Structure 1
Amino acid sequence: MLRNIQFHRLSQPTRGFTLIELVIGMMVIGIAIVMLTSMLFPQADRAASTLQRVRSAELAHSVMNEIWGKRYDQNTNPNGGIPACNAPTGIACTTESALGLDGESRDTFNDVDDYHGLDETDNMLDSSQTYTQAYPRYQLQVSVEYLDAATKAQKLITVAVTTPANEEITYQAVRSNY
């Protein structure tokens, strides 16, 4: 009886893959690898550029908020009120050629046009750290100009941030004299 059991086990067909099944399996794996390398893996590059754009926006937003908190012009009343510079009864606003530093240090900027020419090598407000240290490989350039030099009623603030991938992103805001 024992021999019959052993014979029965030997007579069972062996299980395994046929040559056709192996070839089809390799083709499916090959197609999957091609799809991964052509569609999924390039997403990593796009994720990095998205992160750089977000950091660029953070940098520009922080600089823009700082500028926005300053008064419109050196000749504007620091406490607000009327008259604003260039108003019929007010004093004249700063001339276009005089936009920029009024002799203050970075920590004592008091009006919007003091930021004209600010770049990534300048210190952040109330800190010894530079923008280059906080945002390595990012470049920053700020410019301030009058929208209409005749009326001097609005200043265009432009913050240009260059990402490590050399993509320049420009952020702009208009500040009015009120």
Structure 2
Amino acid sequence: MGVNHTAAKGFTLIELVVGMIVLGIALVMLTSLLFPQADRAAETLHRVRSAELAHSILNEIWGKRYDQNSNPNGGVPACGAAARPDLGLPAGDACTDEADFGPGALARNAYRDVDDYHGLNQNSLILNSSLKYADEYSNYQLLVKVSYPFANKHSKLVAIDVTTPSGEVITYNALRSNY
């Protein structure tokens, strides 16, 4: 009768070495391609929250009048407007000087025009709240700057700098016209 040979079961040394090399390559690919995606996802979340913060402040600013010397109900004449005798319109009051931008002695809920927001930061109170921006947006930095971008005073540039927890500074700009 024939001889019964049973095949040996297991791995050879060469198969083990090749398997470890393949596993090593796979781990290197995972650590270099897949794991950094988590960091990028966090950056995206920081950018979205940054935009949310800036957008909420811009919405609030847009609801205010252009200048404290402008008619609160709009209409003519706007501050800085030249007289139009041909239309029977007087000259508007002078617009606020850029050196006087900021809230002055106004409480946070009493801001009345665009330039009152100059200097608003993460330590400022949120509108109609006892919380500060730093309480709701921890680890975010905020700075609102208002300026006249041109020699005439017919528009104001609102620049909102938001620094994310990862240190990225994102600037949101809006131009408000005097009308």
Whether TM exceeds 0.5 here: the answer is yes
Unpaired stretches in structure 2, ≥5 consecutive residues: 83-90
Unpaired stretches in structure 1, ≥5 consecutive residues: none
Alpha-carbon distance in structure 2 between the residues aligned to 1:117 and 1:102: 10
1:97 is aligned to 99
2:168 is aligned to 167
Q: Which of 12, 16, 25 is 2:19 aligned to?
A: 25
Counterpart code for 2:157: L
- The DSSP-based 3-state class of the residue aligned with 2:72 is coil
For residues 29-40 of structure 1, the aligned pairs below 5 Å read: 29-40=23-34
Q: Which of 131, 136, 140 is 2:138 aligned to?
A: 136
1:104-156 deviation per Cα after TM superposition (whole angstroms, max 9, x unaligned) = 2110111000001111111000011100100011111111111124x200101
Q: Which of 36, 39, 49 is 1:55 aligned to?
A: 49
Q: Which of 101, 112, 121 is 1:110 aligned to?
A: 112
Q: Which of 66, 73, 76 is 1:72 aligned to?
A: 66
Counterpart code for 2:139: R
Q: Which of 66, 76, 80 is 1:82 aligned to?
A: 76
1:82-102 deviation per Cα after TM superposition (whole angstroms, max 9, x unaligned) = 221111222221122222225
Greater than 4 Å deviation, 4+ residue runs? none
Alpha-carbon distance in structure 2 between the residues aligned to 1:153 and 1:107: 26
Alpha-carbon distance in structure 2 between the residues aligned to 1:42 and 1:124: 35
Number of positions where the alignment pairs a residue of Structure 1 with one of Structure 2: 171
Tell me the C-alpha RMSD between the 2 structures. 1.9
TM-score, normalised relative to structure 1:
0.88
Q: CA deviation at 1:17?
A: 2.2
TM-score, normalised relative to structure 2:
0.87
